Amino acid sequence: MKLKTQIFVVILIFLNLSCGYMQEVNVYESSKSISAYDKFPYKTLFKDSQENGLWGVKSNSCKEVFFENSNSYIGNDHLHIKWNASKCNYTAVGLKWADYKVKDLKPIIESTAIELHVRIDSGELSNIPMFFVLLDYGGNQCRANINYLDLEGGKIDSDWRRIRIPLQAFNYKKRNVNMSKIKELRLEFQRMGDLHIDNIIIVPHKHNYQKSRETFTKVFNTHPIQIGVGKEYWWGINKKYSSCLQFGSYFENESVVVDLDESKEMQWNTFGFSPYQWMHVDITSIYTSSAIMFKVKSEKIPALQLNLFSYKGKKRRLQKILNETHFIERENGLYEAYLPLKSLEGHKEFRWDSFKEIRFKILESSKCEIGDFQLIEFRGNPKKPTQWKGI
Amino acid sequence: MERNLNLFFCLLFSILYAFTAHSQASKVEVTTNSLGHFELQKNGVPYYIKGAGAKDHFGLLVKSGANSIRIWSTNNKSLLDSAYHHGLTVTLGLHVRPERSGMDYNNEYAVKGQIEYLKNEVLKYKDHPALLVWGIGNEVDLKYSNFKVWETIEIIAKFIKEVDSNHPTMTVIAGVDPSKAFYIKKYCPSIDILGLNVYGSIENAGLNLRKFNWNKPYIVSEWGVNGPFEARTTSWKAKIEPPNGIKADQRLRRYQELIEKDKEFCLGSYCFLWGQKQESTATWHGMFLSNGLPTEAVDVMHFCWKGEWPNSRAPSIRNIILENIGWRKDHIIAPSSQATLKIELLKYNNKKIIVEYVLYPEAFSNKIGGDIQKSPEPIKFEIVNQSDNELTFITPKEKGAYRLFAYVKNEKGQSSVANIPFLVE
């Protein structure tokens, strides 16, 4: 190879190698992004008593607070609290957290946690009766407790163990706490305990848990509604103990055959069912224009007491003894009964968003079949239920 | 030498056997007997629970004829050890946080954290020789609206089935109700026994369970006298507590006529409370006083469990009357005025009794379901005259609600107590 060719090849190799070390550079490269956590300036709540302010550290009959120098996790000392809260309404220690500066936690709620290290002098615990409380400048406060999932090793013992309280674990929405204006963190103590605490800081944290909105509620907005569908949602019918009440088959939907003789023993005279699968049944929007309707096959009108129950509220039971005005005879021995919900005394105090149960009591010896229970539209006079032309 | 060696090995074997036997968990099963009745068997032998909700006084409990205690959480292992040393079994509560305490069963983080914590507790205690039955949750149904809690109960019960085949599972509810029976049947197939905390509602509990088509056995996990939540109140909302003597009669009847008689479904019971706690008053449910002295309720349980009264019985206060008006009525008295309290009592075989009267401010509380309540401090008051069954005193000058207690005890400290609320106005 001629010298010129050799020099050319060497230059080519050199250039090629050089290109390999060259980086691609965008003319308009964006600057490296800074996370919300990085931007948050108040990451330290407590490292030692010299640097970080606390209140409530004066010992009293319910708690003793020490700053101990030996065996600290970090800094010159750490917090040691012994408490017996049984004689006090409130036992707590407050962290002034950057001298009560306004802390905006909103940008870091999703991505951070309060971290601390704890230990006890001896033994082993899986739980400590204490709460973490965040206070805003409006005086609202939300709380969270220690969750086993974020307790290092699942226990507290004589080694320093890490605990994390994700900011999302605080019930700030429920308590209407303004997370962009947080004033302080409090450690609230209950029952009895003895705990060493150190290094309370804000740390990045992934919290991969969801909150569902399940309410076990069935909402009804339109009529008619077939109620009590499904024998598994009924009670009071158990042939092993009483044959007074048995499921019948005369009507299209669920019905009860009543054969009650009060002169005999073990005569069950009460049965009930859920309007819908024992869920909270919400008929708030239609209850004022609703009536319970059911059919009766009997030689005469039976003496019935009807009770409605709700899951919630102060008034959980409405009661009515039906009389002749509630019944229309459609055929010979076949009646329809109507009970407008507005006719029930106390209906305004009843929680129609949490309707639970309809219960019947047979008040005297009877032979009949009762069934086909519905909630129908009713816009007549509640006091004269069978005189409305709409039925 | 050979004899000594044999002796040594014999001793060693005995120690090892004793150690093994002591550290072995019992095999507890729910079975049915020849009559088709549910039965609890411990190590193959029928075991009827004669129990109490108890944290102390185990010696007296055993002496009274009990064989088991119920505790509500796993936060005190020494209770199990102590029960075991006294020959008592334990229904051990796994504390499932009720919704009313702020627990949100739609919060996956809180739910999973609780489940993992309780699984760990199960592993810690499953081999304890005193363990009889797991009590998963206590009154989680009280004032709840999120039925998802039953999923948690089932996950824990199912876990127990996986890791501990020796002990049945129970969940404890506050009174019987058709919706609760439905939900537990549907969501908690791994639950073997239903625990019933029933006070006034004990009267129809067994019948109602049959009506609600409950088809597994039950334990009366808490029972006693009607609770403060069922009591009549005065016009100023103070709860009216019956005297000890009336409560003792109620306990005896309920045990004999309701608990013992249901041989088909009931595996036994735990009376409430073999100890003392503040629940509206300091003496409502507790069978002991705050100073540790036993009341006549202890004698009643002795009779229930052993079929005979103890040799030494506590006196019994049958009635308490303030200003000639009985304890069931309202009592409104002027400030700084003289008033007279009378008690009617049975001394039984006691030659000497000691009577003491203590005045407290009324302890109004809106806590429910056995949640912790604070006890008030006693108030000093002026006694004009005092005899065995009558007290003349000066009412407080401050207007307000008060409660006057009469304590009667024999020389052994066996006691009876009654109180009467009054309003100074």
pLDDT(A26) > 70: no
Minimum CA–CA partner of B107 in chain A = A211
Q: Does B375 touch chain A (CB under 8 A)?
A: no
Strands (E), B43-115: 45-46, 49-54, 68-71, 89-94
pLDDT in tens, A71-87: 999 999 999 999 998 87
Under 8 Å CB pairs connecting chains A and B tally to 84
Q: Which has the minimum average pLDDT: A29-43, A123-137, A175-189, B42-56?
A: A29-43
Q: CA A68, CA A60: separation in Å to the nearest integer?
A: 18
Which of B106, B182, B211 has its CB closest to that of A211?
A: B106
The rounded percent of chain A whose pLDDT value lies above 90 is 81
pLDDT score for B17: 45
Residues of chain B with C-beta less than 8 angstroms from the C-beta of A154: 116-117, 120
Q: Does A314 touch chain B (CB under 8 A)?
A: no
Q: Does B117 touch chain A (CB under 8 A)?
A: yes
pLDDT score for B16: 46
Q: Does A205 touch chain B (CB under 8 A)?
A: no
pLDDT score for B19: 44
Q: CA B168, CA B91: separation in Å to the nearest integer?
A: 10
Residues of chain A with C-beta less than 8 angstroms from the C-beta of B77: none
Q: Does B110 touch chain A (CB under 8 A)?
A: yes
Residues of chain A with C-beta less than 8 angstroms from the C-beta of B211: 235-236, 238, 241, 268, 270
pLDDT in tens, A271-323: 999 999 999 999 999 999 999 999 999 999 999 999 999 999 999 999 999 99
Dihedral, CA of residue B224, residue B230, residue B231 and residue B236, to nearest 10: 140
**Residue A5: which pLDDT band, with cuts at 50, 70 and 90?**
confident
Could you give the ipTM of this predicted complex?
0.87
Interchain contact, B108 vs A210, CB within 8 Å: yes
Distances (CA, A) of A25 to A14, A106, B78: 21, 36, 69
* DSSP β-ladder status, B218-223 and B193-197: parallel
**Residue A18: which pLDDT band, with cuts at 50, 70 and 90?**
low
Which of A148, A171, A241 has its CB closest to that of B113?
A: A148
Interchain contact, A241 vs B210, CB within 8 Å: yes
Q: Does A214 touch chain B (CB under 8 A)?
A: yes
Q: CA B54, CA B66: separation in Å to the nearest integer?
A: 11
Interchain contact, A154 vs B120, CB within 8 Å: yes
Surface-to-core class of residue A267, CB atoms within 10 Å of its CB (0-12 exposed, 13-18 middle, 19+ buried): middle
Residue pair B305/B50 in contact by the 8 Å Cβ criterion: yes
pLDDT in tens, B356-397: 999 999 987 666 655 666 778 899 999 999 988 999 999 999
Q: B178-187 and B149-163 are packed helices; what angle lies between their axes, rounded to 10 degrees?
A: 50
pLDDT in tens, B343-354: 999 999 999 999
What does A101-161 look like in DSSP terms, one character per residue? --B--GGGTTTEEEEEEEE-SSS-BS--SEEEEEEETTS-EEEEE--GGGBGGG-B-SS-E
Which of A171, A211, A268 has its CB closest to that of B108?
A: A211
Minimum CA–CA partner of B104 in chain A = A211
Buried b vs exposed e over A343-380: b needs ≥16 C-beta within 10 Å? bbeebeebbbbbbbbbbbbbeebbebbbbbbbbbebeb
Interchain contact, B120 vs A240, CB within 8 Å: no
Residues of chain A with C-beta less than 8 angstroms from the C-beta of B183: 278
pLDDT score for B363: 83
Residues of chain A with C-beta less than 8 angstroms from the C-beta of B121: 126
Query: Which of B163, B103, B121, B112 lies closest to A125, judged by CA?
Result: B121
Residues of chain A with C-beta less than 8 angstroms from the C-beta of B147: 216
Buried b vs exposed e over B341-359: b needs ≥16 C-beta within 10 Å? bbbebeebebeebebebeb
What does B139-160 look like in DSSP terms, one character per residue? STTTT---TTHHHHHHHHHHHH
Q: CA A203, CA A45: separation in Å to the nearest integer?
A: 11
**Residue B182: which pLDDT band, with cuts at 50, 70 and 90?**
very high
Give the B window 132-151 contacts with A, CB below 8 Å. Answer: 145-148
Residues of chain B with C-beta less than 8 angstroms from the C-beta of A235: 178, 181, 211-213
Q: CA B172, CA B70: separation in Å to the nearest integer?
A: 11
Mean pLDDT score of chain A: 92
Residue pair A63/A189 in contact by the 8 Å Cβ criterion: yes
pLDDT score for A86: 80
pLDDT(A120) > 80: yes
Dihedral, CA of residue B195, residue B201, residue B204 and residue B209, to nearest 10: -30
Average pLDDT for B5-19? 50
Q: CA A125, CA A158: separation in Å to the nearest integer?
A: 10
Task: For an interface test with A, give the residue of B55, B101, B213, B371 to mutate (most A CBs within 10 A).
Answer: B213
pLDDT score for A306: 98
Residues of chain B with C-beta less than 8 angstroms from the C-beta of A240: 210
- Confidence (pTM): 0.89
Minimum CA–CA partner of B110 in chain A = A147
Task: For an interface test with B, give the residue of A86, A90, A128, A147 to mutate (most B CBs within 10 A).
Answer: A147
Q: Does A149 touch chain B (CB under 8 A)?
A: yes
Interchain contact, A168 vs B104, CB within 8 Å: no
Q: Is the peptide bond before A224 cis (omega within 30 degrees of 0)?
A: yes
pLDDT score for B371: 61
Q: Is B73 helix (H, G, I), strand (E, B) or coil?
A: coil
Residues of chain B with C-beta less than 8 angstroms from the C-beta of A357: 178-179
pLDDT in tens, B258-296: 999 999 999 999 999 999 998 889 999 999 999 999 999
pLDDT(B20) > 50: no
Average pLDDT for A187-201? 96
Mean pLDDT score of chain B: 93
The rounded percent of chain B whose pLDDT value lies above 70 is 92
**Residue A14: which pLDDT band, with cuts at 50, 70 and 90?**
low
**Residue A2: which pLDDT band, with cuts at 50, 70 and 90?**
low
Q: Does B378 touch chain A (CB under 8 A)?
A: no
pLDDT(A207) > 60: yes
Q: Does A207 touch chain B (CB under 8 A)?
A: yes
